[in-house]
Amino acid sequence: MNERRPTIHDVAARAGVSKSLVSLAMRGSPKVSDASRAAIEKAAAELGYRPNATARSLADSRSRTIGVNMAELDNPIFPEMLGGAHTVIRSRNYNTMLVSGERDPELETMELAKLLEFQVEGLILISHRLPAETVRSLADEVPIVVLTLKDLTGPGIDSVVTDDEAGTRMAMQHLFHLGHRDIAHVSGGSLEPAVVRERLYRSEMQAAGLGSMTRVIEGDLTNLGGLEAARTLLQEGKPPTAIFASNDISALGVMAACQEFGLSIPSDISIIGYDGIALGALRTLSLTTVAQPLGLMGQVAAQRLFDRMAGTQIDDRSIVLEPELLTRGTTAPPRV
């Protein structure tokens, strides 16, 4: 038979204090003397008592929980953002409740409704798929910080993004500096970060006098999408000397397609991605990329959310962080 789990009554009896005093001590109340707190902590440790978080939150009408929505569980940039946010959430003695819409905006909206049912005190939305009107309606319920939805602010909403325009210019200028002129782009479809990157690719090619050489093959920001897009491109005949992929995951698919066609990277073709995922730094991949500060984005989002929850700031802001070019082993001057 399992032993009975110790209760707050047991702690009070062993410490020689009232149940209410134990409850105050567990909540960190300054009304408890140092001597009583020490006795209570000693009794709790001896009994192996762990306070019931649910009951405690009900007692003070606070859930001490932050809801986090991730649009995709298998996209490496989102867990890295989550890791940064969770570090801050944990440091504030809050819990993290995670849901995912798995690339389905309708399912994402349903999952967010579940978070509200659990009375989360704030929301961090790591998504580029949610409609703006959905986010704004959620802000009527709880404070919100959005990651990756560019410049989406409003009453009760902040956003944390990176400067995609500057990042795309970094990628293109890197290729131009190496001597590339025949540069193709594997896009990411209609999602906002991908749209910005495609637009800047086109404008950079135009500004360099290479508008007639612009080639865009649509992908979907997935590994398979990058693979299929690159296959389509390479089947057309003469390959470009460089490919700029809209994100790192699709860039890995592009690399696989190039290898299928017998192209050596970077001596035959250069490839650059976007995001700076940890996987790309592996020696076997060594992907040149424009890195977003993913962990920092999560940290800033969580800090901003706690500021908003505490009422220490009321201005709605879009916080823009700077990306960084990471030159690795997949880019080189074109073969003469």
In the chain, what is the greatest distance between 2 CA atoms, to the nearest angstrom?
A: 85
Domain boundaries, the chain: 8-59, 65-163+293-321, 164-292
65-163+293-321 and 8-59 share a CATH fold:
no
The CATH topology of domain 8-59 is 434 Repressor (Amino-terminal Domain) (1.10.260)
The CATH topology of domain 65-163+293-321 is Rossmann fold (3.40.50)
SS3 of residue 160 by DSSP? strand
Whether the bond into 266 is cis, omega within 30 of 0: yes
Q: Supply the pTM of this predicted model.
A: 0.80
Closest CA to 308 of 106, 126, 153, 98: 153
Q: Which two tokens stand for residue 41?
A: 């902590």
Cα 308 to the chain's mean position, in Å? 20
Residues of the chain by 3-state class (helix, strand, coil), percent to 5 = 45, 15, 35
Q: For 289, list phi and psi in degrees, rounded to 5.
A: -155, 165
d(CA 87, CA 82): 9
**CATH architecture label of 164-292:** 3-Layer(aba) Sandwich (3.40)
d(CA 300, CA 295): 9
pLDDT tens for 260-319 read 999 999 999 999 999 999 999 999 999 999 999 999 999 999 999 999 888 766 677 889
pLDDT tens for 96-147 read 999 998 878 788 888 888 888 888 999 999 987 777 788 888 888 888 999 9
Residues 6+ apart with CB under 8 A from 129: 71, 101, 103, 105, 108, 191
pLDDT tens for 153-189 read 677 788 999 999 999 999 999 999 999 999 999 999 8
d(CA 159, CA 151): 6
